[in-house]
Structure 1
Amino acid sequence: MTQITDFDSLLAAARQQPDPQRLLFVFVRSVLHDDHAPHEAERFNAGQGGILQPVLCVDKTPAELTNFAALKAESARTGEAWQLMFVAAIGGANGQVPSSDDAEEPLKRMIQTIQTGGDVSRYLAFDHQGEPVRFL
């Protein structure tokens, strides 16, 4: 079993799976909700609190990715700033890679889970440097 220590080890693990994989990415940033209280703004300005707002999503096969630096550069070209990236995978069957159409509903569910403050522990999360983030 491959241990995921950073984004590039995730790519290596995805490439080693017996069934072809499609990786699902949701990039988020922390924002204050519209009806925040003054103390929430103070905490947010100190780097705590806020809510996660999805700003980008994409699906890719491991073969379409070289490393974290390339994915980060691609995301930068969109002009959308992000702080965290959530990742999930869907596996193919009979040697067939799942299509982008196959990824559409799982990506929508990921976005909904993040927006509603649902359980994001089922996803891997990485910071802007490609290091894993754990939620307690």
Structure 2
Amino acid sequence: MNITSYTEFVTAAKRQPEPQRLLFVFAESSLPPNATESQKQSFRAQQGGTLTPIMCVDKLPGEAEDFAGLVEESKRTGQHWDIVFAASLSGRSGVVPSSDSATQALKQMISAIEQGSLARFLAFDRAGELVQFS
């Protein structure tokens, strides 16, 4: 499935044969402590740095219909973020995954992001644009 927007992500989750729970990990980009001048230039051009997960949340597809709502809710936390990683967790036998299942999946997402394993997640910037990592 080739998802190119946040709306397509939510729509795809709603169309799955099993109920889904959406998973979001918000991350902040920063420079490593001893960044070289080259790294600093890349960072200013938004092409480098590190991503640090700072908060996460799980939602049912109907609770996260539009990206603007997700951004507004995140503003109430007071936490700055640059990228939000998104994935979905599938239920079984018509049962929506529990919050406990989502918590474990979110921990796995955070660990993968910290290790730089980003390919299996969608990533969106603050404007809701899909971000590709190379």
Match of 2:34 in 1: 35
Q: CA deviation at 1:74?
A: 0.3
Letter in 1 for 2:67: F
Separation of aligned partners in 2, 1:77 and 1:28: 16
TM-score (norm 1): 0.89
Letter in 2 for 1:44: F
What is the correspondence of 1:1-136 to structure 2 with a 5 Å cutoff?
3-117=2-116, 119-136=117-134
Letter in 2 for 1:61: L
CA pair 54-95 structure 1, distance change in 2 beyond 3 A: same
Letter in 1 for 2:103: E
CA pair 40-135 structure 1, distance change in 2 beyond 3 A: closer
CA pair 135-38 structure 1, distance change in 2 beyond 3 A: closer
- Deviation per CA, 1:73-112: give whole Å up to 9, x if none: 0011111111111111110011110011001121111111
Question: Structure 1, unaligned stretches of length 5 or more?
Answer: none
Number of aligned pairs?
134
Letter in 2 for 1:127: D
Separation of aligned partners in 2, 1:67 and 1:14: 13
CA pair 107-33 structure 1, distance change in 2 beyond 3 A: same
Letter in 2 for 1:98: P
- Deviation per CA, 1:42-98: give whole Å up to 9, x if none: 432343321001111001110222311111100111111111111111100111100
Moved more, 18-27 or 41-50: 41-50
CA pair 44-5 structure 1, distance change in 2 beyond 3 A: closer
Separation of aligned partners in 1, 2:122 and 2:55: 16
What SS does the corresponding residue of 1:43 show, helix, strand or coil? Answer: helix
Letter in 2 for 1:128: R
Alignment RMSD, CA only?
1.6
Separation of aligned partners in 2, 1:37 and 1:135: 21
